[in-house]
Amino acid sequence: MNRVFNFSAGPSMLPLEILQQAAAEMTDYHGCGMSVMEMSHRSQEFKEIIETAESDLRDLMNIPENYKVLFLQGGGTLQFSMVPLNLLRDTKKADYIVTGQWAKKAAKEAEKFGDIRIAATSEPDVYTYIPKLEREDFRPDADYVYITTNNTIYGSRYNYIPDTGDIILAADQSSNFLSQVYDVKDFGLIFAGAQKNVGPAGVTIVIVRDDLIGHCPADAPVYLDYKIHADKGSMYNTPPCYSIYMAGLMFQWIKKQGGVPAIQKHNEEQAARLYDFIDNSSLYRCPVAEEDRSLMNVVFVTGDADLDKRFVAEAKTQGLVNLGGHRTVGGMRASIYNAMPDEGIDKLIGFMKKFETDNK
């Protein structure tokens, strides 16, 4: 077996032990004579899989009882539509903080459904920081405020939760779900596509307070109504069964690591090692404001686009793959989600040192 260290922004690395468990269970899941891929979503076996996944996630995040957990399809992208469709329930106003391309896309989509105001954007500074907003920066009659807690492309994250008073806060946590401790009660809604931190692509997890369910316009496509999914336990139609099974294995793995606080500590240590190295080097530079740097996506550049390209190509020959920055920004990006082992960080720093010496 020749596994590489995969720094892809998503889909991304999964723990080897989970892949091996899935492989062992592939053709005959727990003696039922078939794969989870072949199983009816109405079967007893799958019922157990989805119920265990939900209860493990509730434990991990301390999700209060008045929040529903939904396992949906359509990725983060479909949530860009579902959030406004369901949450624009009164004045049809919402305030968005735009801290990257994903937030910008979300705001643009929401404009189809209501009166959307950009409360702040760091776009003029190429999204290198997170605006600090306070309660008076939001329209008091807004139905919700929207943030992207971690900016996958630009490598920044919120180091604070904006105080929105009694306005609902909705958060896209696609790229830092279960990577640090959050208090679910600070949010009316959290969503995350699985493929960055919790499994393969295909399932999107939505955690939504139950009083925010049931406001979707009657003429909206049925799939887009949270109520349908909440009432049917995410089984209104066939859910992404195999992705839910894999996310469930990942939840168990996170529990085994000591839960989210332990994962957060580990992620902080890994990120600090990389940022310290970058800040002390004479070749590399991180463009993101120090206090807003992401724990998940470490962005850096040499300042020379050709050298950046060579870095990415040479790293690949060393088994350090997918280190190129997003196609729109270039440079380098090391995505170090929950499953990245310490050896991956060691090896990356070792390579960066050597590349720096070789290119002095």
Ligand X SMILES: *Cc1c(COP(=O)(O)O)cnc(C)c1O
Binding site for ligand X (CB under 6 A): 10, 75-77, 102, 148, 152, 172, 174-175, 193, 196
Q: CB of 107: closest distance to ligand X in angstroms?
A: 12
Identity of residue 194:
A
Q: CB of 135: closest distance to ligand X in angstroms?
A: 24
Nearer to ligand X by Cβ, of 76 and 200: the residue is 76
Nearer to ligand X by Cβ, of 162 and 352: the residue is 162
| Region label for 29, one of left (φ > 0), alpha (ψ between -120 and 50) or beta (otherwise) | beta
Quote the CA–CA distance of 206 and 237 in Å, as a whole number: 16
Q: CB of 174: closest distance to ligand X in angstroms?
A: 3
Quote the CA–CA distance of 351 and 216 in Å, as a whole number: 51
Q: CB of 8: closest distance to ligand X in angstroms?
A: 11
Residue that the structure tokens 């992705």 belong to: 243
Nearer to ligand X by Cβ, of 86 and 156: the residue is 156
Residue with nearest beta carbon to ligand X: 75
Nearer to ligand X by Cβ, of 6 and 148: the residue is 148
Identity of residue 8:
S
Closest listed residue to residue 249, CA positions, set 4, 2, 20, 12:
20
Write the DSSP assignment of 20-58 as a string of letters.
HHHHHTSSSGGGSSS-GGGS-TTSHHHHHHHHHHHHHHH
- What do you get for the CA distance between the two ends of the chain, in Å? 35
198: DSSP letter: T
Q: CB of 359: closest distance to ligand X in angstroms?
A: 31
Identity of residue 348:
L
Enumerate the active-site residues.
102, 172, 196
Quote the CA–CA distance of 229 and 244 in Å, as a whole number: 15
Q: How do beta strands 93-98 and 115-121 pair?
A: parallel
Chain centroid offset of residue 68 CA: 19
Nearer to ligand X by Cβ, of 97 and 352: the residue is 97
